Structure 1
Amino acid sequence: MSHNIILKKSNKTVNGTVRLTGSKSECNRALVIEALSEGRVKVQNVSDAADTVTLAGILRNVERGVANAELAGSNHGPWTMDHGLNTVNIGPAGTAMRFLTAYFAIQPGEVVLTGSARMKQRPIGILVDALRALGANIDYVENDGYPPIKLKDGFVQRTRVINIKGNISSQYITALLLIAAKLPHGLELHIEGDLTSRPYVEMTLAMLNQAGIQHKWNGNVISIEHQQFSETSLPVEPDWSAASYWYAIAALSDEAELFLPGLTQYSLQGDSAITEIMANFGITSQFKDGGVHLKKEPKPLGRKIFDMKECPDLAQTVIVVCAALGHEATFTGLETLKIKETDRVKALQTELAKIGVKLIEKGQVYKLDCSQKFIPEQLFINTYEDHRMAMAFAPLALVVPQIEFEEAAVVEKSYPAFWSDLESVGFSTEFTA
């Protein structure tokens, strides 16, 4: 049964230490690298995010070579039998869908890869087209361009050169890069136009490099030759995306001193950009004692334009902070938000309207209009089965006396301890039926 949660904060002071789970972005890449390495690579500090748990379980079953007969009626998590085929249901895990599409494309055997109702609305066609061009045998089960998909035996590499648009999800590009070294002739990826979420592609290449996979990146071309993974371990840093919500909490507080252990100043994660973004709101970041210390300092708001192209997962967080403060900022780089767990632009517009704030879309530019902003005594936030909607709006409990969130468990997708971590620094929570 799904429960809602009521969140309150009796004062606007926040102090404490919060230990964050491993980065979902890093861990999902590391798990696929581990699976492709044939035992040479081991992952350390595996995230407990639901998406990562799902992906890890699927890859463990592949490693065990679980046979069709064993899968029928078994308790192997997301695996089921369907007309003699292995069916893997990844639920709402978008990263897993993209990465496993590439992974299973080069594996022996046949599998149907499916997901939640929303997952079946999220496009996969660009990645499938690229994999087909490489030599994969993939069919659509229901609607062309969308999951579920059937991946079949018979991969024979036809080309090493693939063209792909840079302004689509970086997860398509990462999925191809992860399998590149296993391709008989390697991969030469030509990126057309500007590259969205560049830090995520850089993260992928850096982690592959840690695992012994070399690459060349000249202009818009990334090349990876066929090569073997090295014996190594991949340590996963705590999640900077999760850290962003604590920066937002600090920004909406009167006083804040928080310590987030394990985070480093020079991170592979693009969402570490939150340190620079939140400096505009008076949040200082001091890296010492094996982590980052956040502190709220008085500072007038100045920055009016935020380009989120390289860190789109921070967009909801920053937009909600600006709305709460009545800061009429302008945002760019939100193109990929419409194909996430929900249409995040529409969801933001709907929920911000509950405090009188408009997010006005003009082409690829979005502007906040806070002229009618008001603070209600109570607020109900719909989460749209999107973990980031819940966590981005949670800091509003420092401004609104009482907020109720739909489907408290939605945060388990990336940050299962979110509500209990809020309790540890003085927020009160109450679950409702």
Structure 2
Amino acid sequence: MKPTIVISKASRVSKGTIQLTGSKSECNRALVIEALSKGKVKVDNVSDAADAVLLAGILRKSEVESLKTEVVSDSGLETQDLRLINIGPAGTAMRFLTAYLTLQNEEVILTGSARMKERPIGILVDALRDLGAEIAYEEKDGYPPLRIAGNIQQKAERIRIKGDISSQYITALLLIAPNLPLGLELEIEGELTSLPYVEMTLSMLQQAGIQHNWTDNVISIAKQDYKETSIWVEPDWSAASYWYSIAALSDEAELFLPGLTSYSLQGDSVITEIMANFGITSQFRDGGVHLLKEPKPIQRKIFDLKSCPDLAQTVIVVCAALGHDATFTGLETLKIKETDRIAALQNELAKIGVKLTEKGQVYKLDTSGKHIPDYVYFNTYHDHRMAMAFAPLAILIPQVEFEDANVVEKSYPAFWTDLEKVGFSGTLKG
């Protein structure tokens, strides 16, 4: 049985310094670059997020096991040993490794959790097959687990991929481009979703000496060598967003987050602009960012989160808690995350009388029935961001309980401990 956690906060004042772990998004990219560079690139400030720790172990071939499988050969049925790589619920690792493993000198089975087997991978597999990769579906077409043959025999230099899908598909292809025999010309069809994440990938490749050309809708990366360098992983702006939420729901807030900069590669740094609507100012000094709460009427009614979908739960919950009816767009990818985040938000917001309605690709928040009970039990749906987005509600609700205390380990293992530094109290049960 998974332990639950009950949190509360006696005061609506939040003050303190919080040292965040390295960005999971940056770290996962840097780890793949390090592996592909064959030792030329080193990674500093590696994230302690479970996803990053797992990916690092797999790339160093320590988090693997063997699987005996039967294959048909000229001499009949033979038993073959394959590496079995289980990435659990780590979606980024699934996408990045699907591409990475096509370059390796072996055949492997790449699998994950039950939920991972429900998350589509077909668009990336099709693109890799167009390049010449040999990838087969072990169970259901379009979904993990995958059987991936290494030593890709590249047959195409230019491929197409839709721009309105997960940017992780695009990043997975760009990361392996310098190692492909013919390089890569990636044509992006339609509007590019989550542009900052693609720009992050290209910038980190450039730090490692990999040059690219981006003309119109085509990104070109020639086969080339990496330079010897170190990539420093900035603290996680996605994790910072929960502290902005805490500041927004507090009556008074002074928080300091060391290491964050105003020129971040991370798209989620846009939280500074979003939370300015709720009276939170961001002052970059002393080697980090100071968050200050100032009284301010909320006026913004429409939030386009297309370039920062991981902030959606945080922003929607803040609006709900403050009784601010708002409209949200750019949430198309939320249904294929760790859970169907739209359905999860609808279910959990209903517990405080708030409705999130969907019409096409537009989502409206109705807070007319909002109420603040003395106690709420929130489900997390195996989704770290559900727990962390709803946790700040303990500022308003006397007791908030979450079904799975450990779910935060995926990206922010120290989350509950860090909450205690600013006056939250937490009690584990079970």
Q: Under TM normalisation by the shorter chain, which class is it?
A: over 0.9
* Structure 1 residue identity aligned to 2:127: A
* Structure 1 residue identity aligned to 2:24: K
Cα distance in 1 for residues equivalent to 2:278 and 2:380? 26
Matches within 5 A, 1:290-309: 290-309=287-306
TM-score, length-scaled by structure 2: 0.97
Cα distance in 2 for residues equivalent to 1:416 and 1:104? 28
Partner of 1:383: 380
Cα distance in 2 for residues equivalent to 1:3 and 1:380? 13
Q: CA deviation at 1:274?
A: 0.2
Which string of whole-angstrom CA distances, capped at 9 and with x for unpartnered residues, describes residues 143-165 of structure 1? 00000000014511111111100
Partner of 1:407: 404
Partner of 2:5: 5
Q: Residue 58 of structure 1 contacts residue 79 of structure 1 at CA under 8 Å; is this kept in 2? A: no
Partner of 2:247: 250
1:35 lines up with 2:35 in the alignment: yes
Q: Residue 21 of structure 1 contacts residue 415 of structure 1 at CA under 8 Å; is this kept in 2? A: yes
1:223 to 220, 224, 229: 220
Which string of whole-angstrom CA distances, capped at 9 and with x for unpartnered residues, describes residues 257-300 of structure 1? 00000000000000000000000000000000000000000000
Change in 2 beyond 3 A, CA 1:413/1:87:
same
Partner of 1:99: 96
CA RMSD, aligned part only? 0.7
Cα distance in 1 for residues equivalent to 2:66 and 2:347? 37
1:351 to 348, 353, 357: 348
SS at match of 2:292: strand
Q: CA deviation at 1:107?
A: 1.1
Which string of whole-angstrom CA distances, capped at 9 and with x for unpartnered residues, describes residues 190-218 of structure 1? 11111110000000000000000000111
TM-score, length-scaled by structure 1: 0.96
Cα distance in 1 for residues equivalent to 2:248 and 2:124? 39
Partner of 1:313: 310
1:88 lines up with 2:85 in the alignment: yes
Cα distance in 1 for residues equivalent to 2:375 and 2:325? 23
Q: Residue 102 of structure 2 contacts residue 151 of structure 2 at CA under 8 Å; is this kept in 1? A: no
2:231 to 226, 229, 234: 234
Cα distance in 2 for residues equivalent to 1:114 and 1:286? 43
1:260 lines up with 2:246 in the alignment: no
Partner of 1:47: 47
Matches within 5 A, 1:18-33: 18-33=18-33
Partner of 2:144: 147
Cα distance in 2 for residues equivalent to 1:271 and 1:166? 19
Instruction: Note the residue ranges of structure 1 that are not aligned, 5 or more in a row.
Output: 62-75
Which string of whole-angstrom CA distances, capped at 9 and with x for unpartnered residues, describes residues 7-36 of structure 1? 100010000000000000000000000000
Q: Residue 137 of structure 1 contacts residue 154 of structure 1 at CA under 8 Å; is this kept in 2? A: no
Give the number of aligned pairs.
Answer: 419
Q: CA deviation at 1:375?
A: 0.7
Change in 2 beyond 3 A, CA 1:389/1:226:
same
1:283 lines up with 2:269 in the alignment: no
* Structure 1 residue identity aligned to 2:34: E
Partner of 1:67: none
Cα distance in 2 for residues equivalent to 1:364 and 1:279? 25
Cα distance in 2 for residues equivalent to 1:393 and 1:242? 13
Q: CA deviation at 1:421?
A: 0.1
Partner of 2:77: none
* Structure 2 residue identity aligned to 1:418: F
Matches within 5 A, 1:265-276: 265-276=262-273
Q: Residue 63 of structure 2 contacts residue 85 of structure 2 at CA under 8 Å; is this kept in 1? A: no
SS at match of 2:60: helix
Q: CA deviation at 1:77?
A: 3.2
Instruction: Note the residue ranges of structure 2 that are not aligned, 5 or more in a row.
Output: 70-80
Q: CA deviation at 1:230?
A: 0.6
Partner of 1:205: 202
1:123 lines up with 2:138 in the alignment: no
* Structure 2 residue identity aligned to 1:40: K
